Amino acid sequence: MTERVFEVFRQEDEGDPMIHAGNVNAPDEELAMHYAREFYGRRGESHRLWIVARDAITELDDPDLLKPPFDRSHKKPGGYIIKHKLEAAKQRAATEAGE
Amino acid sequence: MTELDVAGRESLAQLLLSVADDEFVIGFWDSEWTGIAPMLEEDVATSSIAQDEIGHAKALYELLAQLTEDDPDRIAYGRDAAEFRHAALLNHARGDWAFSVARRYLYETADAVRLSVLARSSHEPLALLAGKMRREETYHMLHADAWLRRLGEGAPEGRERLAAAFSSLWADAQEIFAPLAGEEELVRHGFLAEPMGAMHATWQAAVRPKVEPISGSLPDAWPTADGRARRTDDFAWLHGEFTKVSGSEVGATW
């Protein structure tokens, strides 16, 4: 039997995020479903499983795209220092309210 | 449960014992695959299903023990091989993988028919338990069916082995519906919502169209009177295995 790798994601409760649990080897989707249930659900620990053939996953791990060499601090919330602007705005609001 | 006469209680005890012994013995046979199933994942799946069956047996032995004021462990591990009442289908050693797949398929299909009837039992604890067991057996059925198709539609060798297994097991598979002592009582009290004969017909109608394309035409076959009393050397060996630990220190608390 030719085996394929299936990645398994599990959700503990309704509404929780699907978290990668691990993987199983199986010849096809049908047995992968059975094996995922045995490995990641037989103790009642999962509310839902997603079983995805690894070769169906589009992978991106190119550092040029994910870790570009330029400064990206402006794309993070910490990239803007708004502390002083916020203080000024608060003062302005207080002054207007006092008028 | 309302007051039950002696005959009613004895018939109910026979029913519970027959189902419990079936689950117990198939659980132990299939656990003989632990460590040597075709692939690691299947090893875990088969072992887990075997464990589920022993879990069902435990629940049934507990119901029986309440009824007869006995100890479930004694019923499971304290009887001689000759006192077991599983169907003759479960008298055989696990054989090759196709043999175990064929047996599980025959058993799971029969068990599904039986559980649908037990879920309508007038003995409420049994009806509730049967309902719970069905939820798990649905998955066992899907697993057995997946393997039936895999071997039946795959390479010729798998198909041939499966066909040989079905031919050799067909007669003994009927015995899951072997008449029980006190069956009239069981039906009269509503413990069994349908007689064994009716269940047997339902099962045959369901299973022939799935099995015969693999096995070829199977002969007419019916359950026999001693279908749950015949024992074999294979079973004597298994009985020795599963009573080995409990027998090593009789009366010990584990």
A86 vs B233: which has the higher pLDDT: B233
A-chain CB neighbours of B146 within 8 Å are 30-31, 34
Cβ atoms B129, B20 nearer than 8 A: no
pLDDT bucket at B1, cuts 50 / 70 / 90:
very low
- The backbone torsions φ and ψ at residue A19, rounded to the nearest 5 degrees and listed phi first, read -115, 135
| Option in B39, B146, B150 nearest A25 (CB) | B39
Question: Quick one: chain B helix, strand, coil %, rounded to 5?
Answer: 70, 0, 30
pLDDT digits (tens, 9 = 90+) for A18-73: 999 999 999 999 999 999 999 999 999 999 999 999 999 999 999 888 888 888 77
pLDDT digits (tens, 9 = 90+) for B19-76: 999 999 999 999 999 999 999 999 999 999 999 999 999 999 999 999 999 999 999 9
Tell me whether strands A4-11 and A48-53 are parallel, antiparallel or unpaired.
antiparallel
Q: What is each CA distance from B167 to A91, B163, B172, B192, in whole angstroms?
A: 91, 6, 10, 30
Report how far residue A33's alpha carbon sits from residue A55's, in angstroms, rounded to the nearest whole number: 16
Q: Please, is A14 exposed, middle or buried when counting C-beta atoms within 10 Å of its C-beta (0-12, 13-18, 19+)?
A: exposed
Torsion of CA A35, A39, A45, A50, to 10 degrees: -50
pLDDT digits (tens, 9 = 90+) for B178-233: 999 899 999 999 999 999 999 999 999 999 999 999 999 999 999 999 999 999 99
pLDDT of residue A67: 86
pLDDT of residue A79: 64
- The backbone torsions φ and ψ at residue B229, rounded to the nearest 5 degrees and listed phi first, read -115, -20
Chain B contact probe: residue of A42, A43, A45, A49 with most B CBs at under 10 A = A42
Give how far A33 is from chain B: nearest CA, Å. 10
pTM: 0.87
Cβ atoms B194, B117 nearer than 8 A: yes
| Interface predicted TM-score (ipTM) of this complex, two decimals | 0.78
Domain residue ranges of chain A, discontinuous segments joined by +? 4-60+72-98
Chain B contact probe: residue of A2, A28, A30 with most B CBs at under 10 A = A30
Q: What topology is assigned to B6-216+227-248 in CATH? A: Ferritin (1.20.1260)
Task: Give the strands of the sheet with A4-11, arranged side by side.
Answer: A19-26, A4-11, A48-53
Nearest C-alpha neighbor of B87 from the set B144, B153, B17, B148: B17
Whether the pLDDT of residue B250 is over 90: the answer is: no
pLDDT bucket at B177, cuts 50 / 70 / 90:
very high
Q: What topology is assigned to A4-60+72-98 in CATH? A: Ubiquitin-like (UB roll) (3.10.20)
- What's the mean per-residue pLDDT of chain B? 95
